A and B are shown apart, each in its own frame.
Chain A
Amino acid sequence: MVLLKQASLILWKDLLLELRRRESVLTMFFFGTLLLFVFHFAFDVPPQTIAELTPALLWLAFLFTGTLGLAQLFGLEKENRCLDALLLARVDRGALFVGKVSFNFLLMALVEIVVMPLFWILFNLHSWTHMPALFGILFLGTLGFCVLGTLMSAITMTARARELILPLVFFPLMIPLILATIRCMEAILRTGQLGDTAAWLRLLIGFDVIFLTVGVLIFDWVVEA
């Protein structure tokens, strides 16, 4: 309970700051939309391969867009050495991690809610009934992205060229999650159900659970180091 209370305080503070600055969410939204338009005009996706290609394009857009948000995730805490103020307080490091993951997740969800329907329209996807299932997969994929991304963002926080280093360490670790999400989305777009790709869904859930647990456990060491 204490962890959740402290995490919600950090989330409240981050949302309030973002509401006033509007830097991350606007940048992410415009970049995500821009990427979709670029993909739309660059790739002429034939209807028979639409299920195979579009999930990858969509995830590519989310991956780049989300990385923009990750780069700024601890930026606010570095201003005025506010991270020191948080570390000085009796705040559980796990709560700090959960708070940051929640904030990052909300930002990503906000962008996805706007970008997803646009993507649907741009790539002429007709199966609107699959949308809830796709959002379910996106939820798990985005959670994994935010969990690992927050951890990597904290690890590279003090690095000199963090904007360069972050994708270099983050993207390779994201490969299982990206593959699982794309395979699951592909199956849903093609048949409307997961079918024999359920193993990918288990991998997706496992990835989220493992990295969320690892993050809560090791975040103390990550921020103190």
Chain B
Amino acid sequence: MRLIVRDLSKAYGFSWAVKHLTLDLTAGDLIALLGSNGAGKTTVLKLLAGLAHATSGEIIFDGKPGLRGQGGERSIVGFLTPGEHLYDNLTARENLKFFTALYDRNCSASEIDNALSDVGLAWRANEYVAALSSGMKCRLSIAKWKLLDPVLMLLDEPYGVLDASGVELLENFLRDHCAKGRIVIIASHHLERVLAICSRAIVLNQGKMIYDQRRQQSWESFKTAVNDCLRMDPNGGIDKQREGKNGRHGPAPSLLV
């Protein structure tokens, strides 16, 4: 399994959200997509999910062009954004039933119950999603994608709403998913958490990729290298103002380290 992104660009009006992004992702990759606010992380995820049209460039999945359009390719992409993509006035169980049927997975009632039980929502299976907390909605989304088993899993800021056990649940799901030969991309500001589980980090700055490394060196040097990139100013140098406040290897203000 291989995902190739070639020279992908996306403009909103006169402003470039993503510029000339080129990537080559292989099975089992767990990628941390990092960058400050407005760096283009969510736009990249939307482009990969086929929820936004690219201005130029191409996406090739296993030799097939594009993830956009109808047909089989679309079904392989999972997109987890906490609190979104669930119907408030359907129960947790009905949401899973609807989406699994829509993806033609036709899970049995016991499979759905097991998935809810795995994420600790069995006791609230018959409650409306509107009545669930943000963390519970995120757990429900995890249950949904566990059942649907997408080949490419995209996550946009999944950590913000989860408690400690929720984070553990999510990370176990992602590790298992990668172990099955799937590709996972997580866009997040929780640097330490996401770097701890990823196999590769990509840093965006104003839509441009400024760092792309596999985690081969030690944890500390990997984190330091990523942090340096995150503190780059838009012109490519180290942001002196941030450096002055936080020290050479201190946290960037927009990041929750």
* A→B interface (CB under 8 Å): 6, 9, 12-13, 16-17, 20-21, 76, 79-82, 84-93, 220, 224
Contact = CB atoms under 8 A, between A and B. Distances in A.
Given A17-B89, A89-B103, A90-B104, A80 B83 contact: yes
A6 B84 contact: no
B121 to A, nearest CB: 17
Given A9-B98, A84-B79, A17 B53 contact: no
Nearest to B78: A88
Contacts of A89: 74-75, 99, 102-103
A224 B68 CA distance: 9
- List 9 tightest A-B contacts by C-beta distance, closest first: A85-B85, A90-B75, A81-B84, A20-B89, A89-B102, A80-B84, A17-B89, A84-B51, A90-B74
30 contacts: A9-B101, A9-B102, A12-B98, A13-B90, A16-B89, A16-B94, A17-B89, A80-B83, A80-B86, A81-B81, A81-B85, A82-B84, A82-B85, A82-B87, A84-B85, A85-B84, A85-B85, A85-B86, A85-B99, A87-B50, A87-B51, A88-B51, A88-B79, A89-B74, A89-B99, A90-B70, A90-B75, A90-B102, A91-B102, A224-B53
A13 B87 contact: yes
Contacts of A87: 50-51
B49 A88 contact: yes
B89 A86 contact: no
B243 interface: no
B221 to A, nearest CB: 37
B236 interface: no
B89 A21 contact: yes
B72 interface: yes
Contact of B70 (A12, A16, A20, A92): A92
Contacts of A92: 70
Nearest to A80: B84
B97 to A, nearest CB: 10
Interface of B: 49-51, 53, 68-72, 74-75, 77-79, 81, 83-90, 94, 98-99, 101-104
Contacts of A79: 87-88
Contacts of B101: 9
A216 to B, nearest CB: 12
A225 B51 CA distance: 10
Residue among A79, A80, A85, A220 with max Cβ neighbours from chain B (10 Å)? A85
Contact of A16 (B53, B75, B84, B90): B90
A220 B102 CA distance: 17
Contacts of B90: 13, 16-17
Contacts of B86: 80, 82, 85
Contact of B98 (A13, A81, A84): A13
Residue among A87, A89, A92 with max Cβ neighbours from chain B (10 Å)? A89
Residue among B71, B75, B87 with max Cβ neighbours from chain A (10 Å)? B87
Contact of A90 (B53, B85, B103): B103
A86 B176 CA distance: 26
A158 B87 CA distance: 19
Contacts of B79: 84, 88
Given A13-B87, A13-B90, A89-B75, A6 B102 contact: yes
A8 B40 CA distance: 37
Contacts of B94: 16
Contacts of A9: 98, 101-102
Given A9-B101, A84-B84, A91-B102, 18 more contacts: A6-B102, A13-B90, A13-B98, A17-B89, A21-B89, A76-B87, A79-B88, A80-B86, A81-B81, A82-B84, A82-B87, A84-B49, A85-B86, A87-B50, A90-B71, A90-B75, A90-B102, A93-B70
B93 to A, nearest CB: 12
